[in-house]
Every structure is written in C-alpha cells, then in structure tokens.
Amino acid sequence: MRKTSITLILTLITIIFTNCSSDESPQEQAPQQTPEQSQDVINIEDARLLDFPLLGITPVSINITQPTIVNNQETNYGEINIIISNTISLNGIASAITSNELNLSKFNILPGQNTNLNYETQSQIHTIVNVLDETEELLHYTVTIEHEATSTLSTLTVTDFRFEGIKNSQLTDDVIIERRVTNVDKEDIYLFVPAGTDFSDLTPTVTFDAEEVFYTQDSSISIINVDTPYPTGEISFNFSYPKRFIIVMRDDANNRIKWTNVFVDVKNPVEIENPDLTTPDIITSNSSEYFTGITRWKNIGNHKIEYQSATMYENKVPDINTNLITATRVLIGGGLAPGESANVNVQIIGNLPVGTYKTTAVFFTRFTGHNIVDDLIESSNLNIMSNIIN
C-alpha cells in the first residue's frame, strides 16, 4: 500500500511539471518583434517608373523599357530613350519626376530632382532607391537623350534614266544619260540610241529622289498642272517627234517643284542620199559649174536639225588650200524636221585644167535649240569627184 501511494505521487508531479513547461514554451520560442521586423517586404515592381518627364522640355518621343525582375530581384537594367528637338542643348538637362511617375512616399530617384546632367556624349544611370534607406538600390534605368534627326529634303531629281537592253529588244546594250544640263528648277537629260531605233516603242528604267513624281507628253500643259502620276512597272512610251517627255517632281509640303525634259535621239541624225557622187563631166570653161540638187540630205533623227558650223573639206585632189569643189545644204526655215529632206548643191569653180578633182565635204549639224550637245553630234561626209574634159 505504501509503495502504491509513492508511485501515484510521482506520477502527479510529472503531469504538473509537463503542463507548466508547455505553457511557457510559446514565450520562449516567439519573442516579441520590433516595428522594423514587422514591416512588409518591398515589391520592387512598385518602384518602376511610369514616365520620365524633363524639366522645361517637351520630348519629341520617349520610349521606356522596364528593368527585368526575377524573384523580386533586378536582373537587367531598364532603358529610357528620349528624343528632343535639335534646338535644345543636351547639356544641363534635369528630370522632373512627380508622384504621377513614381510613388515618392516609398521611393526616391538618384540623381535627385532638378539635377542638371550632360547627355551630349554619354547616357546617365538613374537609380530608384528605398525612401527610408537610400543605400538600398532597387531598380536602375539607363537614360539616353538624343537630338531629333534633321529632316533631309529630297533633291527632286531623276537620279537615273536608261533604256536597258534586257527590256528593249531593239537594243543590244543599255543606253544611259550622256549629259545633264541643269538650270535652277529645270533639267535636261540627253540619251542617244543607235541609228534606226524605233522611237515609238522604248521602255525606260527610271529612279527618282522625290516625294511625288508625275509626267506628261503634252508640252502645252503648264508644269504646275501636270498631275498624271508616273507609272510603276515596265511601261513602253512613244518618244517619237513631236512628242515630248517631261517628268515633274513635287514636294507640296515645302512648296517645291522641279522638272526634267528627256531628250532621246541619235548622234548621227543626217543621212546623205548619195554619199559618194560623181558630177557629170565638165567641159573646160571660164565659168563655175553648178549642180543643184545633185543629192539630198535627210533628217533621220528625232528632233529638228540645222547647221552647226561651216562645212570643212578634206582629202582634196589636188591637195591645195583653195576649195575647188564646194557643197552647200539647203535648210528649210525653222530647221529640218525628222523625216524631211532637202537639196545639196555642188559647185566647181571655172578655169580648171583638164583632170580629175576630188574632195570630201564634212557637214556639221546641231539639234535646233540644243547646242549644248553639239560636241556629241557626229558629222556627215559627202565625197565628191568631178572630171574636167576638153
């Protein structure tokens, strides 16, 4: 009985001790937290900038790339690219961040508000920090500010005009511009195709530097009223006389207009009907002998032609300074039009001894009103032989 009582007493003491230890355990394991320890962890996504206004400057454009955040940690800086007018200096620019762009009750930005920075040669790093501890850097933005690109006006020019052999079956090689003549807003371009080319069926390849391009083949239309858009694609045009080909380039926004006249012809526009002629025999006489219309000269080109300079004589027999035989071309008033022909007259002076006389008349021709290309035009020759007999 005594042994049983002792056992009960020990069991009761053990239970009481265990309960007391259990009541005291929470106080030992969870001591009271300080105010700083009870604060929430900062979500750094809340520190992102919504905009980046500049003090006293209205940007032309602004583009923001937000920092990369993984597990509430910044892994890549953000970027802010700003374009401003090129009339504003890139030196001495300050940000003007307000609570509209950043929660200033929680965060601050460094460099601070109204701090003038130089963006002329470098970008600037702006850091978002904890407002309670500015040593705690949360996010970063690389800010680049540049001037607006200066707008470059077009030159309003035909940059290239050619007839490609691959697009024109009658041509074996490309025909390109051989001369440009510019006079303020007007330009003339000259291209020369081989003799015999059909001017009514040519496909040009053209490039321009212009905002808008139009064309006309009607010279009676005022340049400012030309409103037919230049076609795209491969188009065949009729360049035959008397058609014109005028390209008009406009920049209406800046009230600019220029035009280009396209001149297409051959370099040898004269054909002599009989380039190697022998006059009828001449009986010796004191008088000169005239042969009117002994041959003809014809315009096989694409524009009116006229005399360029005096006729020269070569290959003379006998080889003396005096021109014993001369030739003159008859010129129709206003020039010889394409397809037209006129007489060539020959004269042999009198008092020549019996014998054979020879010369080559070299004719120089120009396109009426286009003496700027005189040096490109080929001469035409007429070989003349005459026999003086008793």
First to last CA, the chain: 190
**pLDDT given for residue 30 in this prediction:** 40
Distance CA 196, CA 125 (A): 72
Residue 62 has pLDDT above 60, yes or no: yes
Mean pLDDT, range 102-110, rounded to an integer: 96
**pLDDT given for residue 40 in this prediction:** 64
The string of DSSP letters for 57-106 reads B--SEEEEEPPEEETTEEEE-EEEEEEE-TTS-SEEE-B---TTTS-TTT
Locate 119 and state its tokens.
Answer: 């963006």
Mean pLDDT, range 328-348, rounded to an integer: 96
Distance CA 127, CA 102 (A): 12
Whether the domain at 157-265 and the domain at 270-389 fall into the same CATH topology: yes
On average, the pLDDT of the chain sits at: 91
**What's the pLDDT tens digit per position in 119-159?**
999 999 999 999 999 999 999 999 999 999 887 899 999 99
Closest CA to 326 of 345, 350, 307: 345
Q: How far is CA 307 from CA 201, 215, 366, 373, 390, in A?
A: 29, 32, 6, 13, 37
Locate 301 and state its tokens.
Answer: 């080109």
Number of H helices, E strands in the chain: 1, 26
- Burial class of 148 by CB neighbour count within 10 A (0 to 12, 13 to 18, 19+): middle
Residue 387 has pLDDT above 50, yes or no: yes
For the chain, give the percent of residues with pLDDT over 90: 86
Query: Left, alpha or beta for 20 (phi > 0: left; psi -120 to 50: alpha)?
Result: alpha
Q: How many CA atoms lie within 13 A of 312 on its CB side?
A: 10
**pLDDT given for residue 155 in this prediction:** 96
Distance CA 5, CA 19 (A): 22
Q: Are strands 186-192 and 256-265 parallel, antiparallel or unpaired?
A: parallel
Distance CA 189, CA 247 (A): 11
pTM above 0.75, yes or no: no
Closest CA to 231 of 245, 251, 252: 245
Amino acid of residue 386: S
Mean pLDDT, range 234-243, rounded to an integer: 96
Q: Which helix (H) or strand (E) holds 7?
A: helix 2-29
**pLDDT given for residue 304 in this prediction:** 98
* CATH architecture for the domain at 157-265: Sandwich (2.60)
Residue 16 has pLDDT above 50, yes or no: no
- Give residue for tokens 């470059």: 152
- Burial class of 290 by CB neighbour count within 10 A (0 to 12, 13 to 18, 19+): exposed
Domains of the chain by residue range? 44-147, 157-265, 270-389
CB 123 within 8 A of CB 80: no
Domain 44-147 annotated CATH 2.60.40.2340: yes
Chain-centroid distance of CA 191 in Å reads 22
Amino acid of residue 294: I
Locate 86 and state its tokens.
Answer: 């090129």
Domain covering 270-389 in this structure, CATH number: 2.60.40.10
Amino acid of residue 200: S
Chain-centroid distance of CA 100 in Å reads 44
Q: How far is CA 194 from CA 36, 161, 238, in A?
A: 95, 17, 16
For the chain, give the percent of residues with pLDDT over 70: 90
